[in-house]
Amino acid sequence: MAIELNWALCSHRGGDGHQVIRQTPERPATLEYLIRIVSAAEEAGFVNILLPTGTHCMDPWSTATAISQNTEKIKFLVAFRPGLVGPTMAAQQINTFDKLTGGRLSLNVVSGVSSVDLKRYGYFVDHDSRYEHTEEFLDIIRLLWEEKGPVTFKGQFYEIEEADVFPTREGRRTPDIFLAGASKGARRLAARLGDVHVCHAVEPEVVAKDVLEVGALAEEHQRDRKLEFGIRHLVCIRETKKEAKEAAERIVADSDPTKTRNWGAASRGESVTQQRVNELASRGDLWISDTIYMGVNQVRQGAGTMFVGTPDMVAAQIREYAEAGVTRFIMHGWPHLEEAEIFGREVMPLLQDLAPAALPDPEEIAL
The pLDDT of residue 164: 95
From first to last of its 367 residues, the chain has per-residue pLDDT tens of 699 999 999 999 999 999 998 989 999 999 999 999 999 999 999 999 999 998 899 999 999 999 999 999 999 999 989 988 999 999 999 999 999 999 999 999 988 667 777 787 677 777 778 889 999 999 999 999 999 999 999 999 999 999 999 999 988 999 999 999 888 999 999 999 999 999 999 999 999 999 999 999 999 999 989 999 999 999 999 999 999 999 999 999 989 877 566 654 444 456 676 777 777 667 778 999 999 999 998 888 778 999 999 999 999 999 999 999 999 999 999 999 999 999 999 999 999 999 999 988 887 655 5
> From residue 42, how far is each of 71, 75, 118, 127, 140 by CA, in Å?
8, 9, 32, 35, 33
Q: Within a 10 A sphere around the Cβ of 116, how many other Cβ atoms? A: 12
End-to-end CA distance of the chain: 35
Question: What ranges do the domains of the chain cover?
Answer: 4-233+311-354
CATH architecture of 4-233+311-354: Alpha-Beta Barrel (3.20)
Alpha-carbon span 345 to 212, nearest angstrom: 33
Q: Within a 10 A sphere around the Cβ of 209, how many other Cβ atoms? A: 14
The pLDDT of residue 364: 66
DSSP SS3 for 82: coil
pTM for this prediction: 0.94
Sign of CA dihedral 349, 351, 353, 354: negative
Burial class (CB in 10 A: 0-12, 13-18, 19+), 95: buried
The pLDDT of residue 260: 64
